[in-house]
Structure 1
Amino acid sequence: MIERRLENVRLVSHNAHKRMVMCLQGNVGSDVEKRHKKLPLTALSQSMLDGGSQLGDESLIGKMMEVCGEAESKLAFEQSQHEVQLERDILEPLNQLAEVDIPNLLKQRKHLAKLVLDFDSVKARYQQATKAYPSAANAQAMAAKVDTIKEEMDEAQNKMEICKDQLAADMYNFSSKEGEYACYYVLLVEAQAEYHRRALASIESVLPSIQSQQDKWTEKPAFGTALEEHLKRTSREIALPLEACIMMLLETGMQEEGLFRIAAGASKLKKLKAALDCSTSQLEEFYSDPHAVAGALKSYLRELPEPLMTYQLYEEWIQASNISDPDKRLQALWVVCDMLPKANKTNFRYLVKFLAKLALESDVNKMTASNIAIVLGPNLLWARTEGSLAEMAATTSVHVVSIIELIINHASWFFPEDVDFNVSGMFAMPGCPGTPDSESGTIDRRRPGSQGSLESDTSRKDRYKSHPRNYRHDSNSTVVSASYVVASESITVKADSLRPELGAV
């Protein structure tokens, strides 16, 4: 029973030790430094460092390989320390138990069994000699033999008792240490927990630096990136895809029939989007394909995480478009437009001024403000509602199209300032820098509540509510006069060629 239990403990301890050794990745028995050099993580770290050095700091991949390679080296060092600790505090004691302590007990047990057999054999001889002594012919010789056998028996018994006492002491010692042996497995888990904590702390100490360097890298995709994040990362005022596409279209696409409506070749569009994602200004090959450029512009607007006209103002846009009175509808749309975040408003103004310029060529390109609004509007504003693209388009397209058409037709009224389309100076400037639209008259006034005012937003909104704009329109006249009350100042707006149908939009 005892032997079987000891053998089971020895066997399971041996198997556990064997499996633990298999988990080690360094050379068993080596110190921390030597083990560190042989770890697979160290080899990975060195490979990454070499790759980073080969690619250089000009490459984001190279830079990330370098800093991440250093992080892997730190992890390898933590692993080498962990493995040395495991070997010292757990593996060696388990090996001692399985290969030395328990085998010694089993050997003592077998030795005691042999001594017992020896004692029984001598004892049987002694009893036989004692029985034969009274009838022996040579009593003196028999007595001497009996005494010799008795001495052998006493010596065998003494050895047996000594071995039995030693075995009993060792067994008691083993039983008293069983709790200590069991603790080796607890120590294993605790050591692993401590190793992982140190490894996690090592990674977390370098992650901010890695993330910071990655965030500073400007060559990040523009498509699918939030507008403000892209502008901040690139230190731009107008999103690169927006400026690049518009500059190319101003150069070669203004008279292209069906612009934004006719689909571009998929491969060319994919190539252009990839080029824009790399922030390159080498786009000469795409000037000859305006439809691919227009497609890339539409794709950029659609892939924004939030529409250019924002989720936050979605309800305000829709409510403004539902106003029946055409003049009040324009006023309401202007108010909502002025509520756009600065980056969104700047880029929206840039786009609208271009679309108004494009609509001037509608006799040639067939893209009236209405047609432009139909194909481009759903890419500028959509609901946050979950569902398919078709469902989303169905719920918003009618309202959005009417909003965009109105804003394009009255672009100079919404945005009276001229726009320099070549904002960054990266692109060749088209022949005509001006930005006329369908309101080609003169506009000389300052708007209430505009972001250019130095007054607070709250005071501007309150004053607007107190003194709304009032339009006076004569359907038979091409002159519209609108008075705006700003504090005590009255400002008159005149547009000599404003569309006569303004009052019936």
Structure 2
Amino acid sequence: MKKQFNRMRQLANQTVGRAEKTEVLSEDLLQVEKRLELVKQVSHSTHKKLTACLQGQQGVDADKRSKKLPLTTLAQCLMEGSAVLGDDSLLGKMLRLCGEAEDKLAQELIHFELQVERDVIEPLFVLAEVEIPNIQKQRKHLAKLVLDMDSSRTRWQQSVKSSGLASNLQPSGAKADALREEMEEAANRVEICRDQLSADMYNFVAKEVDYANYFQTLIEVQAEYHRKSLALLQNVLPQIKAQQEAWMEKPSFGKPLEEHLAVSGREIAFPVEACVTMLLECGMQEEGLFRVAPSASKLKKLKAALDCCVVDVQEYSADPHAIAGALKSYLRELPEPLMTFELYEEWIQASNIPEQEKRLQALWNACEKLPKANYNNIRYVIKFLAKLTEYQDMNKMTPSNVAIVLGPNLLWPQAEGNMTEMMTTVSLQIVGIIEPLIQHADWFFPGDIEFNVTGNYGSPMHVNHNANYSSMPSPDMDHADRRQHDQARRPLSVATDNMMLEFYKKDG
């Protein structure tokens, strides 16, 4: 209690300048002292923020940390979803592969966080909460010892003055001896503490490289974690892509023709074949086919069914306009028209040739330049449209009418401008291209054709309509002569069918 009183009195005297004050630290150590406080603040703040970045529970083992990790929970959810859907579905396979990948990523994250916690977070905590506070505590202790030393020296000096001796003489008596011993002992304690504090401060400065290494370690550990995570993802991605590519049930609307054919292993696009074979069954006599707009809801439903490769012929047999609308939509939604952007100018130039024979020859030359996939599909479509026009007396769809409504879905310019302008200029030229293709389909595309290519839609009544042709019609033969020419060479089943059509027509 007495020592504290003397310390407070000495501090007060030093504050008002009535007592001499001993400097605790040198100028260099004072600078180190300031740096200590700054490093402590930075280390404490970094430790706090870095701890907040951890996703696992700090201070527990790997198993307990894994159970509450969000990535682990996600992996479990994906695996459970995979088990529910099964490997028979593409989504089930995707969930399983992703679940396994997320679980491995979770294990890598746990290992990363444990390493960061051990090599970075804990050393920063020790630096900010143990090492620097210990030095600062020792610094405060030294300040108290210096104050005690100054107090004992002041009291000894007062004792010297009160004895009436000169300042250069030593005071005598028991009290003076006791004060001198106290002063010397205090000075000795100050010296020992100052030496220890100076050593600790200099060690702190020397170890700054080690402290800086914590942050280098952080980046190195992060880099290694991301390398391993990237390797895991790069390993699983080819497996995921392989499953996607191997899955046959892919949407076809809006996809490139060659991609769809390659994935499905077909020569004729699925929506084209499905729509054509259904129309051959139920739509050939439908008035205004391709011209009358279908029900929007039924068209949407049919397009979705075609994308899923699940089409019930009986369900749509009552609405051929929806089937025709779906075929038009598929052709229009292709990224590139069936007759290609590359040959667009050549088609247009061919249509502008005034002489019919030369014009037809130029159109034929353009046909021959089409890629194989495009050639097969345009041949299939044109042959069907030619078949459709044979029933023009009932369906009112002449080659010209068909070309008007379907031409813009088979060929369009790559950079489309104003739609109205295109309809008034370009469409007229496109009609001049499509109409002769339909009129002379068997000349442009000689040979038989099987509309039901895959055999999945029954046997269309009018498939292979030129199977018994002994010769191809002349391109300059008019429609009536060509129709008579075809009737003479038509298979018996088709001729019989036409007789039935006439019967129904007369019967109303």
For the aligned pair, the TM-score class normalised by the smaller chain equals: 0.7 to 0.9
Q: CA deviation at 1:273?
A: 0.3
Superposition map of 1:254-403 within 5 A: 254-403=284-433
Query: Of 69, 82, 90, which aligns to 2:112?
Result: 82
Q: CA deviation at 1:243?
A: 0.8
3-state SS in 2 of match to 1:423 = coil
- Distance of aligned partners of 1:306 and 1:472 in 2 relative to their CA distance in 1, 3 Å threshold: closer
2:287/2:397 contact within 8 Å kept: yes
1:441/1:496 contact within 8 Å kept: no
User: Aligned residue for 2:227?
Assistant: 197
Q: CA deviation at 1:339?
A: 1.7
2:440/2:475 contact within 8 Å kept: no
Residues 1:122 and 2:164 are matched in the alignment: no
Superposition map of 1:104-503 within 5 A: 104-133=134-163, 143-436=173-466, 442-443=470-471
2:443/2:472 contact within 8 Å kept: no
Query: Of 8, 15, 19, which aligns to 2:45?
Result: 15
Structure 1 Cα separation of the partners of residues 48 and 422 of structure 2: 62
Q: What does the per-residue CA deviation read over 1:34-57, in whole Å, with 9 as the maximum and x for residues that have no partner?
A: 433331011101100110111111
Structure 2 Cα separation of the partners of residues 142 and 276 of structure 1: 118
Structure 2 Cα separation of the partners of residues 391 and 45 of structure 1: 55
> % of aligned pairs identical?
58
> If the length of structure 2 is used for normalisation, what is the TM-score?
0.83
Structure 2 Cα separation of the partners of residues 404 and 312 of structure 1: 17
When structure 1 is superposed on structure 2, of 67-76 and 191-200 the one drifting more is: 191-200
1:112/1:164 contact within 8 Å kept: yes
AA matched with 2:275: C
Q: CA deviation at 1:417?
A: 1.5
Q: Comparing both structures, which one devotes a greater share of its residues to helix? A: 2
Structure 1 Cα separation of the partners of residues 149 and 278 of structure 2: 110
User: Aligned residue for 1:466?
Assistant: none
2:442/2:472 contact within 8 Å kept: no
- Distance of aligned partners of 1:121 and 1:31 in 2 relative to their CA distance in 1, 3 Å threshold: same
Q: CA deviation at 1:148?
A: 2.6
Q: CA deviation at 1:242?
A: 0.5
Residues 1:69 and 2:96 are matched in the alignment: no
When structure 1 is superposed on structure 2, of 121-130 and 269-278 the one drifting more is: 121-130
AA matched with 2:315: E
Structure 2 Cα separation of the partners of residues 298 and 386 of structure 1: 18
AA matched with 2:131: D
When structure 1 is superposed on structure 2, of 166-175 and 111-120 the one drifting more is: 166-175
Structure 2 Cα separation of the partners of residues 409 and 442 of structure 1: 18
- Distance of aligned partners of 1:474 and 1:48 in 2 relative to their CA distance in 1, 3 Å threshold: closer
Structure 2 Cα separation of the partners of residues 231 and 474 of structure 1: 36
When structure 1 is superposed on structure 2, of 385-394 and 143-152 the one drifting more is: 385-394
AA matched with 1:339: K
When structure 1 is superposed on structure 2, of 46-55 and 385-394 the one drifting more is: 385-394
Q: CA deviation at 1:168?
A: 1.1
1:13/1:97 contact within 8 Å kept: yes
- Kindly report the root-mean-square deviation, in angstroms, between the aligned alpha carbons of the 2 structures: 2.7
1:269/1:292 contact within 8 Å kept: yes
3-state SS in 2 of match to 1:284 = helix
> If the length of structure 1 is used for normalisation, what is the TM-score?
0.83
Unmatched 5+ stretches in structure 2: 1-29, 166-170, 490-508
Aligned pair count? 451
AA matched with 1:106: Q
2:90/2:243 contact within 8 Å kept: no
- Distance of aligned partners of 1:45 and 1:362 in 2 relative to their CA distance in 1, 3 Å threshold: same
Q: CA deviation at 1:478?
A: 6.0
Unmatched 5+ stretches in structure 1: 136-140, 446-470, 480-493, 499-505
- Distance of aligned partners of 1:104 and 1:330 in 2 relative to their CA distance in 1, 3 Å threshold: same
3-state SS in 1 of match to 2:290 = coil
1:385/1:392 contact within 8 Å kept: no
Structure 2 Cα separation of the partners of residues 393 and 44 of structure 1: 53
3-state SS in 2 of match to 1:367 = coil
3-state SS in 2 of match to 1:166 = helix
1:413/1:443 contact within 8 Å kept: no
Superposition map of 1:34-53 within 5 A: 34-53=64-83
User: Aligned residue for 2:504?
Assistant: none
Q: What does the per-residue CA deviation read over 1:98-142, in whole Å, with 9 as the maximum and x for residues that have no partner?
A: 10111111101100011011111222232233344568xxxxx96
Q: CA deviation at 1:82?
A: 1.6
